[in-house]
């Protein structure tokens, strides 16, 4: 039996968005000092992410620290472990974007049987011609705005008689509407939350009953660290991270990847101002080779087919110059302690 409304932990995703929003606010005005007061017995796990732009957020009870978050290194994956991609039919939102085309081309090389690329605009004229000449993969381009119930339902219901049930989902849709917190409006918030959060809600509803092996959400490092001028984007991606947690608690296979900027495309990679700001802060760009290697590792470690195990369902993939980057966060030693020790 399917649900007529999205299953969503409102406490979790709203709190996650609020914390990410506050991170961006702290980055825009480092002189601000703020904290969170919880008046509910349920503490959303997303609130356990420390805020590196101030002193950090701790979970305390009666003065005792119950939880203090840390950023951990992902365990090394043996190079000899081959990827066994068992997808037969996969769907990817944001299918007209540069990163989606890169990933789709890689999936074709992995002998993926069927790929459905969804895009809100339907402007596929710049798509890599090699995707249209594949002899081993059936590629379907669909104009669909999955932030609406009707179009999400129609897109996922498109199943040719010869196709297999959907077993791979990638949510890479998103838009940027950058402005400082003081200039944020309902339009700029809804405009960014629609492709990210509303789309995920309806994908959740209409993927019920599909035997998903993997569900990869394309989040952003802005969710982890905040980003000046992108408080709406940071908050929307934090909601994806919270959804991955909630979905795992239901026994699902979702993993949210907080990507940095890709050098081969993507919204941040095509914005010169954003790239300069990232370079000054000690963050580099992800090459196509590194990005695809990380994506393969996520699939390799993601249940149910992996034996390596995944330490968490929210991962960050980004290139850091740690000595330069950590100079900005002297007040957040606890969060970056593993990396600060290596640099020192």
CB atoms within 10 A of CB 189: 18
Quick one: tokens of 54?
A: 């101030």
> Measured at the alpha carbon of residue 251, what is the angle toward residues 151 and 318, in degrees to the nearest 5?
75
**Which pLDDT belongs to residue 238?**
93
**Which pLDDT belongs to residue 283?**
87
Asked if 70 and 335 count as a contact pair (C-beta separation under 8 A), the reply is yes
What is the spatial distance between Cα 234 and Cα 223, in angstroms, rounded to a whole number? 5
**Which pLDDT belongs to residue 208?**
85
What residue segments make up the domains of the chain, in order of their start?
Answer: 10-71+85-343
Asked if 156 and 78 count as a contact pair (C-beta separation under 8 A), the reply is no
DSSP string across 96-161: TSHHHHHHHHHHHHTT-SEEEEEESS---TTS-HHHHT-SS-EEEEEE--TTSHHHHHHHHH---T
Provide the 8-state DSSP code for 195. I
Quick one: tokens of 118?
A: 């969804």
The parts of the chain modelled with pLDDT lower than 70 are 1-13, 33-69, 76-86, 124-134, 159-163, 264-271, 302-311, 329-334, 340-344
CATH code of the domain occupying 10-71+85-343: 3.40.50.720
Cα–Cα nearest to 209, from 249, 256, 169 = 169
What is the chain's length? 344
């Amino acid at each position: 039996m399917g649900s007529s409304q999205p299953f969503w932990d409102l406490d979790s995703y709203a709190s996650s968005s609020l914390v990410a929003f506050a991170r961006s606010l702290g980055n825009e005005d480092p002189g601000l000092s703020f904290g969170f007061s919880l008046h509910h017995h349920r503490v959303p796990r997303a609130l356990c992410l420390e805020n590196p732009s101030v002193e950090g957020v701790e979970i305390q009870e009666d003065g005792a620290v119950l939880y203090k978050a840390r950023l951990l290194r992902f365990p090394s994956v043996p190079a000899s472990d081959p990827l066994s991609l068992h997808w037969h039919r996969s769907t990817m939102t944001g299918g007209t974007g540069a990163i989606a085309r890169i990933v789709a081309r890689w999936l074709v090389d992995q002998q993926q049987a069927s790929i459905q690329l969804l895009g809100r605009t339907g402007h596929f004229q710049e798509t890599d011609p090699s995707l249209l000449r594949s002899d081993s993969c059936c590629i379907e381009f669909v104009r669909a705005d999955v932030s609406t119930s009707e179009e999400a339902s129609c897109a996922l219901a498109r199943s040719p008689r010869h196709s297999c049930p959907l077993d791979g989902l990638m949510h890479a849709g998103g838009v940027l509407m950058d402005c400082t917190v003081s200039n944020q409006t309902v339009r700029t918030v809804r405009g960014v939350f629609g492709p990210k959060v509303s789309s995920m809600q309806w994908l959740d509803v209409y993927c019920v009953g599909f035997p998903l092996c993997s569900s990869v959400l394309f989040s952003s490092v802005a969710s982890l660290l905040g980003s000046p001028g992108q408080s709406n984007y940071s908050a929307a991606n934090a909601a994806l991270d919270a959804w991955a947690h909630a979905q795992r608690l239901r026994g699902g296979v979702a993993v949210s990847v907080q990507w940095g900027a890709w050098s081969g495309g993507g919204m941040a990679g095509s914005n010169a101002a954003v790239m300069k700001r990232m370079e000054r802060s000690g963050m580099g760009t992800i090459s196509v080779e590194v990005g695809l290697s990380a994506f393969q590792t996520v699939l390799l470690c993601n249940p149910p087919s992996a034996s390596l195990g995944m330490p968490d369902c929210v991962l960050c993939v980004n290139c850091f110059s740690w000595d330069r980057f950590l100079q900005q966060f002297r007040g957040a030693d606890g969060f970056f302690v593993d990396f600060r020790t290596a640099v020192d």
